[in-house]
A and B are shown apart, each in its own frame.
Chain A
Amino acid sequence: MSKAKILTDKPVTPVLELQIEREAPSRDHVPEAGEFNKKVLPGQFIYIQMDHLRDLQPYVPLLLGLESSKSGQVRFYGMDWHLISYDLQFRLRSQIGRVFAGPAWIQNLTVAENIWLAQLNQGVDRARIKERINEWLPRLAGEHAEAVSKSLGRRPAFVIEPILQICQLIRAFAFKPRMLILESPLRVLPHGLHRDLIKTIQDLNDSGCATVWFDLDRAPELLTESMTIRRWAIRNEALVDCEAA
């Protein structure tokens, strides 16, 4: 049965619902001003192109419910981040896999402890966590699997960036996320792993996980040729739907 067929059979709860009132900057006329009212359905892939890495700052915390929007709301699986209990907020966030462009690690824990932390905190069994990591390690690390294994016992400050990036991917992907937030995930990833990464994202999307990918460049060809993507952008600090424009 196709995805379109499933969507028509019964109403699907959107993974994300965004209702953001965009303020027009005072300096000039801005076509982006107005309300940004969009939904992200399970299995959808959103590619958001931005001008600067600093554009991540207002939007990623907003999607994760870490900051409230002055004018608007963000709902995750129908629940407004700011109308639910803190406890539920944390539980829901643990179901979102995030690959950070900036600081991504607790420096006084080892890389392995960092990967386990959120899952152990949600009461997932240690053996189960190890099993998931062992399952995802060859899939995401490819020929670097041995180097990644060796780095797991070290603190992040002593591990090189490409290996840390693979570890970030394992942390984000391995525990059945309901949504992925990827901030320039290809930036320091070894080139040979790009195709595997995109294939993995595709598999996750097919299983109902929504993906929001933020990047500075246009969507890489590898991505556009293998997946149907929706394009948004951050222009003049405002979120816009490129396809609607």
Chain B
Amino acid sequence: MATRRRKIVSNYLMRGVWSLLGRIGESFGERCRNLAHIMAVLWASAHLALTPRSWTYPVRVMFVRQVLFTAVDGIPASLRFAGTFGILIIAQLAAWIDMIGGSTETVAPLLWRTVVRELSPLLACLVVIGRSGIAIGTELAAMRVSGELEVLDSQGVDPMTYLVMPRILSMVLSIFCLAVVIAVTIVATGYVVAHMLGVLDLPWTEFISQVSRNMNLADAVFFTSKTIIAGAFAGAICCINGLNIRGAITDIAFVSSRVGIQALTAVFAISAILSIVFYGKLLVFKIG
């Protein structure tokens, strides 16, 4: 009797384990398919962007509008966030000096490196996804639901060239440019506030040369590749989610929320992966 009961329990357990493994496998497969889909869209967009014939007048207009909306209109929000972060960084600088007893000259370079390597690309991604990424997903979903994609297709206008490629490209360009704006603003705000509070006693020229001395070519390569890859993935995720909508106009709200979460998750994951690949470290831990 006891053996039989044990057998039943063990059967249940095994079934549970198999079912769990099955779900994990399904979820992994789903993620692999999504990744393949994103890579396909990025490949097609890169191919179209490098083909001069794709750049017809309407595509150029669409690209300029997207850059204006995503990058230029995003500058005030970026400045606000970066200014606030500059103040936070100085507060941290002061706290670290109090805690570990180092000098401004030893602690400041570490913070500036963090700003350029990690904070400014991430902040730029947050601004662009929050302002434009969700709007792009929503707009494309609305176009799909209201039959506008068929209108374009029927007239011989390729939606991939006209709608998707300029949006992805504008997100890449915007994230790169806004990350530069944010990095410069954080450093400048930080210097001004620190100088006013008496935390930093260096003249501006000395401060700038100190910051630039602490940057090297690897940082520039890392910064550029991070902003480009994160921007491309964020753009592709926003477009794919918008265009994949199935259903009615009421489903658009669902797409909007999903776009934001998925794009941000991808950006954070890419940041972590690139940090590991470039510096061989995850936070303070050496990998390999």
A135 to chain B, nearest CB (A): 20
Contact check: which of B57, B58, B147 meets A103 at CB < 8 Å?
B147
Produce 1/0 per residue, B159-176, CB < 8 A to A.
000100000000000000
Q: Is A66 touching B58 in the complex (CB atoms < 8 A)?
A: no
Residues on B with beta carbons closer than 8 Å to the beta carbon of A66: 150, 153-154
Which residue from chain A places its CB closest to the CB of B154 in the assembled complex?
A98
Residues on B with beta carbons closer than 8 Å to the beta carbon of A94: 155-157
Is B30 on the interface with A (CB-CB < 8 A)? Answer: no
Which residue, B56, B146, B157, B158, has most C-beta atoms of chain A within 10 A? B157
Q: Which of A7-15, A113-121, A159-167 contacts B (4 or more CB under 8 A)?
A: A113-121
Residues on A with beta carbons closer than 8 Å to the beta carbon of B35: none
Cα of A180 to Cα of B220 in the assembled complex, Å: 55
Cα of A61 to Cα of B152 in the assembled complex, Å: 12
Q: Is A121 touching B153 in the complex (CB atoms < 8 A)?
A: no
Residues on A with beta carbons closer than 8 Å to the beta carbon of B156: 89-96, 118, 121-122
Residues on B with beta carbons closer than 8 Å to the beta carbon of A123: 56
Cα of A61 to Cα of B150 in the assembled complex, Å: 9
Given A120-B57, A121-B56, also A103-B148 (CB < 8 A): yes
Given A120-B57, A121-B56, A121-B162, also A106-B148 (CB < 8 A): yes
Task: List residues 63-96 of chain A with CB under 8 A from any CB of chain B.
Answer: 64, 66, 86, 89-96
Residues on A with beta carbons closer than 8 Å to the beta carbon of B148: 103, 105-107
Q: Report the contact-size class of chain A (Cβ under 8 Å from the partner).
A: 20 to 34
B40 to chain A, nearest CB (A): 14
Given A90-B156, A94-B155, A121-B157, also A102-B147 (CB < 8 A): yes
Is A59 on the interface with B (CB-CB < 8 A)? Answer: no
A-B contact count (CB 8 A): 64
Is A100 on the interface with B (CB-CB < 8 A)? Answer: yes
Given A120-B58, A123-B56, also A100-B158 (CB < 8 A): no
Residues on B with beta carbons closer than 8 Å to the beta carbon of A89: 156
Given A117-B58, A121-B56, A121-B162, also A90-B157 (CB < 8 A): yes
Which residue, B58, B151, B154, B158, has most C-beta atoms of chain A within 10 A? B154
Is A53 on the interface with B (CB-CB < 8 A)? Answer: no
Task: List residues 105-147 of chain A with CB under 8 A from any CB of chain B.
Answer: 105-108, 117-118, 120-123, 126
Contact check: which of A61, A106, A108, A126 meets B151 at CB < 8 Å?
A106
Q: Is B151 touching A120 in the complex (CB atoms < 8 A)?
A: no
Cα of A92 to Cα of B155 in the assembled complex, Å: 9
Cα of A113 to Cα of B193 in the assembled complex, Å: 50
Residues on A with beta carbons closer than 8 Å to the beta carbon of B155: 93-94, 98, 117-118
Contact check: which of A61, A64, A90, A102 meets B158 at CB < 8 Å?
A90
Produce 1/0 per residue, A187-198, CB < 8 A to B.
000000000000
Cα of A111 to Cα of B153 in the assembled complex, Å: 17
A88 to chain B, nearest CB (A): 10
Cα of A123 to Cα of B150 in the assembled complex, Å: 21
Is A104 on the interface with B (CB-CB < 8 A)? Answer: yes
Residues on B with beta carbons closer than 8 Å to the beta carbon of A105: 148, 151
Produce 1/0 per residue, B56-94, CB < 8 A to A.
111100000000000000000000000000000000000
Contact check: which of A64, A86, A126 meets B154 at CB < 8 Å?
A64
Residues on B with beta carbons closer than 8 Å to the beta carbon of A90: 156-158
B61 to chain A, nearest CB (A): 9
Residues on B with beta carbons closer than 8 Å to the beta carbon of A103: 146-148, 150-151
Cα of A222 to Cα of B156 in the assembled complex, Å: 32
Listed in ascending order, the chain B residues whose CB lies under 8 Å from chain A are 56-59, 139, 143, 146-148, 150-158, 162
List the 4 closest A-B pairs by CB distance, nearest first: A94-B156, A103-B147, A93-B156, A118-B155
15 A-B contact pairs sorted by A residue (CB < 8 Å)? A66-B154, A91-B156, A93-B156, A94-B155, A102-B147, A103-B150, A117-B58, A118-B155, A118-B156, A118-B157, A120-B57, A120-B58, A121-B56, A121-B58, A122-B56
Listed in ascending order, the chain A residues whose CB lies under 8 Å from chain B are 61, 64, 66, 86, 89-96, 98, 100, 102-108, 117-118, 120-123, 126
